[in-house]
Structure 1
């Protein structure tokens, strides 16, 4: 950028990939000359409460319950008024929403009053089965339609966004999903054994393919001891109960705090993601950043995202193919010496790419 750019980066979720994406993106933008990044997160964000080194320029009080959300909606005019003056005082030129949420139209209105363009990073165009966020996707549609540009993390989502025709294709930027970085300190493993350690991590929803995984485990032919940990939060289900009853499977249905994710990745020998559908995977990208091989299914944008990486086993979303993939994984010689992805570098490359696209599409169009 030849002219200084004051960029507001916001994401008002409390937990998970939303605020993490905003922090990683903001950190990367700070490395670009002539770009000054201002970060806005929820005051209740886990990543802020657990890491005091994160500087939040615009902390926003959000909500923790449905009643709290309704109260914040009623206070929307006051929020818009405050945001309007803060944004004006900071001389913001452009804003980026790194993952849409239920309150983003408040920010969009403040930006619109100031005639400041904003960009939305779209992770999913359609809700996954069991997501439970149908109303949020309607709000996302409104947010996208009012945006100046939208960004996707995969070609798969890019094509979906074109198909729904929310915005012209000229306003869509196709990017990629950089890996998340987590603390990589050495921890003592919770389970000490000579078994191959398999990890399935993420939300415990049925579209993640737990039924396929259960059947595939019965078809594994390699006689080598292994332990599979399925870790994440989701509704109780019969298939998870059955998996948990197996001698070599442990299901940990719980929220995993930010500081524990690195420990989980270090524990694992292989990350197993037998999805029935997916847009892209931040979890798989993070596993590669830790130098872990991954077993994934050929759905959505996963093959596109990882087909060039070594030690990525891509199988079809069928019981037979997943079983064959597990057999391949169990024949590997551990510990593996694998080159790790540099998460910070990949976020910087993504930020630089996005700045070039913004410059071309907004400031030179």
Structure 2
């Protein structure tokens, strides 16, 4: 494909990593000469509602309930007509879905009607335990099979995608997961104290390994005082109640809005991620961007996220109670606060965008 490219980047989720990934990628691609970018997000996306200077070229009304989703699907012909008009007017010649969602087949149908290739970034091939997104993964499978190219952010997902044989090897591009950038409030620096501040942040689901963490806490031998905050959203259960009942542990079962994430990272001395399984972790990448030490289990594509120069900050252990306890003991022996140069998130997204655009254009040029 010859430049200039008119690229549509879309992600129609409402909260979390989906819209954030689209915004970060769009911002990075915009800096590449010869590419005109057009961003499409849900009108109900948290990042759209709360950002003052975010330009969304193609806002799309989505849904906030099952009934709302059904209504939007019934309105698919009208949505397709609107998308068709926008894509024709702006002469879009390639589109990228940065994280699949339930309404994406509407965009896929529109693009196929116009004979425009689209690319899908695949974050998970199989649903995680407790995800509750089985229908979404079924739709994702269709979206991937109909795409011209797919992108993965880890070798682990690359191998999984090969194993399920949704697309041929020649249609898969391997990338990596840059850290998300967040606005830092310098007036809210981490408060020093005698306790080492540990943070577990993310969805409170089974595969996140909180049960392993609970038992590992009983095997920590270090006498250093610490406080553990477990922050994220998930179904309430006895495990969370037990953790919250501990004197030095607090559980905040809530959705964390975009503007609070930097504050959480600034508060923490260490980020604890005791996953039972994973593909890649945006939280781990973000913790590194803030220069925070990380305790993380050796599952999925997590270990491959870290470069050699980061390994003095990363404690990788097996997903067992004893190994997590040993990792915690090692971390508690560090001298805090740790001063470490932070990663340049914007630069890392730009490097990823340049890599993906080169790979995408090369592969499309070679395709019949």
TM-score by length of 2: 0.97
**Which residue pairs with 1:62 in the alignment?**
62
**Which residue pairs with 1:235 in the alignment?**
235
Q: Which runs of 5+ in 1 are unaligned?
A: none
**Which residue pairs with 2:263 in the alignment?**
263
Work out whether residues 43 and 59 of structure 1, in 8 Å CA contact, stay in contact via their aligned partners in 2.
yes
Work out whether residues 188 and 266 of structure 2, in 8 Å CA contact, stay in contact via their aligned partners in 1.
no
Work out whether residues 151 and 174 of structure 2, in 8 Å CA contact, stay in contact via their aligned partners in 1.
yes
Work out whether residues 144 and 166 of structure 1, in 8 Å CA contact, stay in contact via their aligned partners in 2.
yes
Q: Which runs of 5+ in 2 are unaligned?
A: none
- Partner Cα distance (2:126, 2:150) in 1: 15
Matched, 1:288 2:291: no
Alignment of 1:72-151 (within 5 A): 72-151=72-151
Matched, 1:198 2:195: no
Following superposition, the deviation at residue 364 of structure 1 comes to 3.7
Following superposition, the deviation at residue 76 of structure 1 comes to 0.3
Following superposition, the deviation at residue 194 of structure 1 comes to 2.4
- Partner Cα distance (1:235, 1:189) in 2: 31
**Which residue pairs with 2:358 in the alignment?**
356
Following superposition, the deviation at residue 173 of structure 1 comes to 0.4
Following superposition, the deviation at residue 192 of structure 1 comes to 6.9
Deviations 1:305-362 (A, max 9, x none): 1263231000000000000000010011011111211100000000000011012100
**Residues 187 and 251 (structure 1 numbering): CA distance in 2 closer, same or farther, change over 3 Å?**
farther
Work out whether residues 95 and 116 of structure 2, in 8 Å CA contact, stay in contact via their aligned partners in 1.
yes
Partner-residue secondary structure (3-state), 2:275: coil
- Partner Cα distance (1:340, 1:216) in 2: 29
Alignment of 1:1-365 (within 5 A): 3-188=3-188, 193-306=193-306, 308=308, 309-310=310-311, 311-365=313-367
Following superposition, the deviation at residue 283 of structure 1 comes to 0.3
- Partner Cα distance (2:307, 2:178) in 1: 15
Please, which moves more after superposition, 239-248 or 304-313? 304-313
TM-score by length of 1: 0.98
Deviations 1:279-326 (A, max 9, x none): 000000000001101000000001111263231000000000000000
Deviations 1:186-244 (A, max 9, x none): 24479774210000000000110011001110010110010000000000111111000
Deviations 1:68-115 (A, max 9, x none): 100000000110111011101000010000000000000001000000
Matched length? 365
Work out whether residues 122 and 151 of structure 1, in 8 Å CA contact, stay in contact via their aligned partners in 2.
yes
